[in-house]
Structure 1
């Protein structure tokens, strides 16, 4: 059975754990890369949600590699420290899911 995991900063990881989610902490790009690689190697992760700030700090080759994998599915979750533009976040998720750029209007 595959599981849902979150890779995020220390403070957010505590909240996810309180909600019953397996959360792994990473304080920077190198630590995030190590955590993500170990989770991929284990093979029991179905969906991996990664803090958007950590995901964008990874080198492009590694990030492209994990985002193109069939399993686990890697999605980004908004960071607490970066301002969230809800519309662009939803548009990015839709573009990734269906392969087309969907523009949302008011």
Structure 2
């Protein structure tokens, strides 16, 4: 069975632990690259929810490998430090997932 885990900063980690998810805390985004390489080689990793700041620091070759692989799926968690609105965040997720920007008009 595949695991779902969260890679985030110490400020947001307790909330995810309360939800019962395995959490890996990183102090700086620079630590993320070494960790992601290890997680990509694990057989039990299915979904990784990762702090958006950490994903942005990953090398482009690692990101290309993640994009090509079917497992694990890496989902960005919006950074608390960035004040982006929800609609932009959802637009970016949809564009990444399906390759389109869907606009819903009311």
TM-score range, shorter chain: 0.7 to 0.9
Q: Please give the secondary structure, in 2, of the residue aligned with 1:70.
A: coil
In the alignment, which residue of structure 2 is the partner of 1:2? 2
The Cα of 1:46 is off from its aligned counterpart by 0.9
| TM-score, length of structure 1 as denominator length | 0.87
| Equivalent-residue separation in structure 2 for 1:72 and 1:12 (angstroms) | 22
- The alpha-carbon distance between structure 1 residues 13 and 98, as it changes in their structure 2 partners (threshold 3 A), is same
8 A contact 1:7–1:26 mirrored in 2 = yes
For residues 26-81 of structure 1, the C-alpha deviation after alignment (integer angstroms, 9 at most, x for no partner) is: 22233111221222211211111110111112222222322332100111010111
User: What are structure 2's unaligned runs of at least 5 residues?
Assistant: none
Backbone CA RMSD of aligned residues: 1.6
Q: Please give the secondary structure, in 1, of the residue aligned with 2:12.
A: helix
| TM-score, length of structure 2 as denominator length | 0.87
Q: Please give the secondary structure, in 2, of the residue aligned with 1:10.
A: coil
The Cα of 1:22 is off from its aligned counterpart by 0.6
Moved >4 Å (runs of 4+): none
- The alpha-carbon distance between structure 1 residues 88 and 78, as it changes in their structure 2 partners (threshold 3 A), is same
Number of residue pairs aligned between Structure 1 and Structure 2 = 106
| Equivalent-residue separation in structure 2 for 1:17 and 1:40 (angstroms) | 22
| Equivalent-residue separation in structure 1 for 2:34 and 2:58 (angstroms) | 11
* 1:1-106 paired onto structure 2 within 5 Å: 1-105=1-105
